[in-house]
Amino acid sequence: MEPARSQQTETRIRESTFGLTRRQLADLLSFAAEGQIPTKEATVDRSVAEELHRMLVVAVQDDEKEPGCPSSQPGRSLRHVLLKEKSPPSELVTIKEQSKRWTTGSASSQQRAAGTTIYYAAIARSLIQHGEKISQHSYDALAQSFLQLSAKSWMLPELKDLFDRATTICQERREMR
């Protein structure tokens, strides 16, 4: 099999399993096989992960169709914009602002947690991609937030990596001041 094709297959598998590792999938299957009932915390974590995945796969909409959503190329997912492509800072600001509205207008704690994650992912992406801080938060505060999000048990691996890299940038910039 070609290396590029193998990588595409691996990416599809990761996306279809919500980014869970083989070990995490094995743990889930063992719980099901043993008939163990997940704890309330595990159920909430799973709900947040599902909500985050749902938000990330939603296509970026044209402003005219849905006010407040990013618009440069409709049809792309938020996951693609935040993790895979070079997006202009203005688009990342728009995603950040939209996700802020999602967190304040959300009915559930899972939606607020997922919206907050997307908010900080847009900030992290801008730091990594453009070296620009698109937030009023200090580098110290951002590093703390990125660390807290990265430590969440429900955090998708790609976002954990994004937050870890952004934390390093914040710590370096904080030391330069």
Domain assignment present for 6: no
Domain assignment present for 3: no
Which one-letter amino acid corresponds to residue 98?
Q
Asked if 95 and 81 count as a contact pair (C-beta separation under 8 A), the reply is yes
Domain assignment present for 101: yes
Domain assignment present for 4: no
In the block, residue with structure tokens 């618009």: 71
47: tokens are 């709900």
Domain assignment present for 125: yes
The residues, ordered by sequence, that sit 6+ positions from 43 with a Cβ below 8 Å of its Cβ are none
Q: What is the CA radius of gyration of the chain?
A: 17
Whether the predicted model's global pTM rises above the 0.75 cut: no
Domain assignment present for 112: yes
Domain assignment present for 151: yes
Domain assignment present for 1: no
Per-residue pLDDT of the chain (177 residues; tens, 9 = 90+): 455 556 666 666 656 666 777 777 676 676 666 555 556 566 667 888 888 888 888 766 544 334 344 444 556 788 888 988 788 999 999 999 988 888 887 678 888 999 999 999 999 999 999 999 999 999 999 999 999 999 999 999 999 999 999 999 999 998 776
How many domains does the chain fold into?
A: 1
The boundaries of the domain holding residue 113 are 12-176
